Structure 1
């Protein structure tokens, strides 16, 4: 299983600009509020309970894996912060005024000591054709009575996330049910 690096950069802004269950259409076009896309036009939004929207919050500004995550992890923390904030500012101009750089946190799974070092499995070139079939075989393979079956996102054709883990588990359950009784 070739785990690839994942980088997550949560930023602690002073205010959330995205609509959530605390947002409502702004009653007055002069109300200062964030925007969301609604069909073709932008709709001004405002907080239903303003005191909730004014509390500090967490914003995940970057989530990456593979070569991009490794390149990002190679930057020092100041360079990482500057790169992410400059990208976020392209979407949200002047957002820096709401972000305290001391609250910017970077996390790279490649730098962790725990097993796995990543978010999910990922076959390298040629590995799927070499290993996929064998990874899904029950153990012992030679026996007419296999005792151990395997399931998980790492055994799915498309790696990552819960859907593929569930599909793999379903396939394993069907294999168990197909055994002679």
Structure 2
């Protein structure tokens, strides 16, 4: 796993499921379902739909929040409690050293925002590659850089700064050709 595609149906220019299908065609094998504003039943249905898209490629769906919605992987916010027991894959969002210091048994972390991002303009201060490097050096968890990663060059720079891979939302969701962008990012 070197790329996590993060969902955002509001930005998905081809519709969310079509965008994820294209991303999987491009080589994505890991998708993080956000869509936290959906009612529980709708979110569960979407999780099932995305798992069906990922299954033929051997992919995995990670669900944002403590409930894996029938799956086996979750991604927690920085403020969520200790990870649920018994899940084979648990990730957590981190933005600074204090949040990294609270990690317990998480398998991976996203560190963000590395670059300024159109998806979350309220994050007006990016960590930059030096900030990513410093934070990545403070954890044994696998690190995924997140925020403003839109090109192969940016993905390579994040890996050179200590990330095991990248997590990308807006660039994939908005891409005219999500499969081509994902293929480019996967090869980085």
TM-score class, shorter-chain normalisation, is under 0.3
TM norm structure 2: 0.25
Bigger radius of gyration: 1
Q: TM-score, normalised by structure 1?
A: 0.26
